[in-house]
Amino acid sequence: MAFNPFDLTGKVALITGGNGGIGLGMAEGLAAAGANVAIWGQNPEKNAKAEATLKGYGVEVLVQTVDVNDEAAVVAAVAEVLAKFGRLDFVAANAGVGGGAPFHEMTTDKWRRVTTVNLDAVFWTFREAAKHMIERAGRGDPGGSLLVTSSTSAIHGAPKNQAYAATKGAVLSMVRGLAVEYARYGIRANSVLPGWIRSDMTAAAQKWDKFNDQVIGRVPMRRWGEPEDFSGLAVYLASDASKFHTGDAFVIDGGYTIY
């Protein structure tokens, strides 16, 4: 039999914030590799467009409208994925929000909004997925892969963006703990730190000439990152090719943070 470690046929993947940007880039890679895919998003138009795109790969697709600010909604949504597909092999906690402001003017409400979406929702999502993966391991079917979308803001100074940076640093520590705690069940946990990527979150900066000259001009690869730049990583981490790879942080930024 030919060696084909990136064949995801029979696997089920969940991507939060999967109806656009990095999340959809991951979802497309996973679907192209044969995985059935569930995505979460709140924009009906983007959800419908993403669903049509993913179904074009010939896999089963579940699109869910989920408010990740709501713990009960997250718990119910993971249960729905399991009810439809019967298993969950790969979870990318990708949903996130910004919320920049001068630190001395940051309100507690704005701080809490960012930390709830970017940190609490990751906790809820991974907790529910881990319950299933541990139970499945107990039935003789070990394995599973957790991936969180962090940011290069976690490793370099992010002025006026400390709430965002704090959450993105926190999930790095969370993932390292999960990698050690759940290794006995064959569950892996990793993170990805995107740099400047084309998405709705960076839409304003993409149109700003000064930003493109002074910031994107400093990216060694001399371009914005694209959602599809994350497809291969998602496939690798969902596949058996990465079954001994855990606790890592993948920086995908075109060389920006090392320049």
Give the Cβ contact number of residue 258 at 10 Å.
Answer: 7
Q: Which of these, 74, 80, 71, 63, lies nearest to 20 by C-alpha position?
A: 63
- Partner residues linked to 26 by β-bridges: none
Say if CB 144 and CB 185 are below 8 A apart.
Answer: yes
Cα–Cα separations (whole angstroms), residue 210 to 41, 75, 101, 191, 217: 32, 43, 20, 31, 10
The helix/strand/coil state of 52 is helix
CA–CA separation, 234 vs 229, rounded Å?
A: 10
CB proximity list for 204: less than 8 A, separation 6 or greater: none
DSSP one-letter code for 28: H
Active site residue 236: no
> Dihedral through CA 34, CA 36, CA 38, CA 39, nearest 10?
20
| C-beta atoms surrounding 159 within 10 Å | 9
Amino acid letter for position 224: W
From the candidates 57, 164, 182, 236, which is the catalytic residue? Answer: 164
Strand, coil or helix: what is 104?
helix
Name the residues annotated as catalytic: 164
